[in-house]
Amino acid sequence: MSNNQPTPKNNFDVIIIGSGPGGEGAAMGLTKAGFKVAIIERENSVGGGCTHWGTIPSKSLRHAVSRIIEFNQNPLYCNDTSTLHRTFSQILHHAAEVVSKQTRMRQGFYDRNHCQIIHGEAKFVDHHTVSVTSSDGSIDHFSAERFIIATGSRPYQPAEVDFNHSRVYDSDSILQLAHDPRHILIYGAGVIGCEYASIFRGLGVKVDLINTRQRLLEFLDNEMSDSLSYHLSNTGTMIRNDEVFETIEGTDDGVILHLKSGKKMRADCLLYANGRTGNTDKLGLEHVGLDADSRGQLQVNSNYQTVVEHIYAVGDVIGYPSLASAAYDQGRFVAQAISTGKAQGQLIANIPTGIYTLPEISSVGQTEQQLTAAKIPYEVGRSQFKHLARAQIAGTEVGSLKILFHRETKQILGIHCFGERAAEIIHIGQAIMEQKGEGNTIEYFANTTFNYPTMAEAFRVAALNGLNRLF
């Protein structure tokens, strides 16, 4: 059944397409500003890719694996006869519980703020109307003065790879992995590929990680990238750099990967984790005069407006930085733009990076190679986790903290951390880096008193180390 004309109750001030972090940030800001808002979500529960297939489940899996490793390496808990072993499908239950909690919490936000949720697939039919096809096939129409596209992204699937094969997965479908592979090929060594390599290797699965670039995570400081390569290799992950696939051949019981270099590799299954694409192909953008680029992404201005002034876009669908936290902020900013005529805030210049491998990596600011290329006279302060009392107590002695600072002004230019809890530790340094005036120098860490023993103390150790290098 189709209802072609929106009824008054189907008419809104703003319709948001997608209930991930970007859509949620926009919805909360607009409802609080008094707008009549609806959010269209094609899945049967809110939260978007971040909650259901990306950030939340993968970090939940990582946490479970890291606790298993911690248990097995601690002589207090286990001995040669009592190691703890879990399969990937077993630890998926933990991830599912966290996803459920997150979904319920986020549903509550919409309910409390009287934001209507419409379930179904949205498609523009004209400049102010969308059709929504629900799961039973019925179609309704909804109209609004303004629209926000917050549809996120999905794993890139090249046409020549058969993702319908039972042993070929992407980073979404891997969460339905039912059998327990002894050997997995991971094609693509970006953030997602490296994180899943850590997870599977931590479970004792043989891992081959195929990197299409010359080094892992080239955007990182070289020292952090090298540390990750060393630790992945040291735990038994086989890394092959600078390789590109020729064909991916699915068999009855596995996958054979043919590389352009002539090599062949075989495993029980393959995770294809090489790139993502914006979810814009089913939106009917041609009906409103919008064009997405080859990655499915939309261009926006500083108010997050597309070239069609009453249609805005936020989150992965506009590209960099493609982070859940940034998408939520962009949603808040677009709500400001709609309610006041101008986005009051903007993303900070130094957006932190958190990579949830085993161990974690996190960084903020510039890398050594960037500073060297720009001929900025910097110095380095280092702290090794193995020298910190808290790390010794916790048994998390792998890792280090590095502070890069200007030789003359002592201003902090970059912070890079490798080790357990790196993504938390980095924020202490970020808070000082973001201070204005003379409050953002490395001397803050040398002159402040830290709790002892803590991991935060790494900043004081690194600061003293760096200042001692000056002459």
3-class secondary structure per residue, 143-205: EEEEEEECCCEEECCCCCCCCCCCCEEECCHHHHCCCCCCEEEEECCCHHHHHHHHHHHHCCC
Is the entire prediction scored with pTM above 0.85?
A: yes
Instruction: Report the pLDDT value the prediction gives residue 1, as an integer from 0 to 100.
Output: 43
CB-based contacts of 100, cutoff 8 Å, min separation 6: none
Token pair for residue 185?
């090929």
Domain ranges of the chain: 8-154+277-340, 168-274, 359-467
Residue carrying structure tokens 């409050």: 439
Supply the pLDDT for residue 4.
65
Q: Is 80 annotated as a binding residue?
A: no
Q: Is 364 annotated as a binding residue?
A: no
Residue 345 labelled as part of a binding site: no
CA distance 277 to 182: 30
Residue carrying the six token digits 């540390």:
227
Note the pLDDT tens digit of each residue in 122-168. 999 999 999 999 999 999 999 999 999 999 999 999 999 999 999 99
The dihedral formed by the CA atoms of 61, 63, 69 and 71, expressed in degrees to the nearest 10: -120
Its CATH class, for the domain covering 168-274, is alpha beta
Q: What is the pLDDT of residue 3?
A: 53
Place of tokens 């938390």: 424
CA 415 from centroid of its chain's CA atoms? 19
438 among the known binding-site residues? Answer: no
Sign of CA dihedral 215, 221, 224, 230: positive
191 is in an annotated binding site: yes
For residue 25, what is the enclosing H or E element?
helix 21-32
Q: Which residues pair with 383 in a beta bridge?
A: 401
pLDDT at position 134: 95
Smallest CA-to-CA distance from 232 within 274, 179, 195, 266 is with 195
Q: Is 44 annotated as a binding residue?
A: yes
C-alpha angle 456-461-462 in degrees, rounded to nearest 5: 95
The CATH number corresponding to 8-154+277-340 among 3.50.50.60, 1.10.3720.10, 1.10.10.10, 3.30.70.20 equals 3.50.50.60
Task: Enumerate residues 6+ apart whose C-beta is below 8 A from 122.
Answer: 15, 17, 40, 42, 130, 131, 132, 283
In the prediction, which pLDDT does 288 show?
97
Exposure string of 89-98, with b = 16+ CB inside 10 Å and e = fewer, is eebbebbeeb
For helices 191-202 and 222-234, the axis angle rounded to 10 degrees is: 30
Q: Where are the alpha helices (DSSP H) in 323-454?
A: 324-340, 368-373, 389-394, 422-433, 443-447
Burial class (CB in 10 A: 0-12, 13-18, 19+), 458: buried
Query: Residue 75: its pLDDT value, please?
Result: 79
Residue of 147, 137, 109, 463 whose CA lies nearest to 287: 147
| 19 in a known ligand binding site | no
Residue carrying structure tokens 């792998």: 398
123 is in an annotated binding site: no
Whether residue 193 is annotated as binding a ligand: the answer is yes
Q: Provide the pLDDT for residue 374.
A: 98
Same fold, 168-274 and 359-467: no
Confirm if 331 and 150 have CB atoms less than 8 A apart.
Answer: yes
Q: If you write DSSP's letter for every residue of 204-228 in order, what string do you get? A: T-EEEEE-SSSSTTTTS-HHHHHHH
Tell me whether residue 78 is annotated as binding: no
269 belongs to an annotated ligand binding site = no
Q: Is 1.10.150.530 the CATH classification of the domain at 359-467?
A: no
192 annotated as a binding-site residue: yes
- Residue ranges for the chain with pLDDT beneath 70: 1-4, 79-81
pLDDT at site 191: 97
- Known binding residue 49? Answer is yes
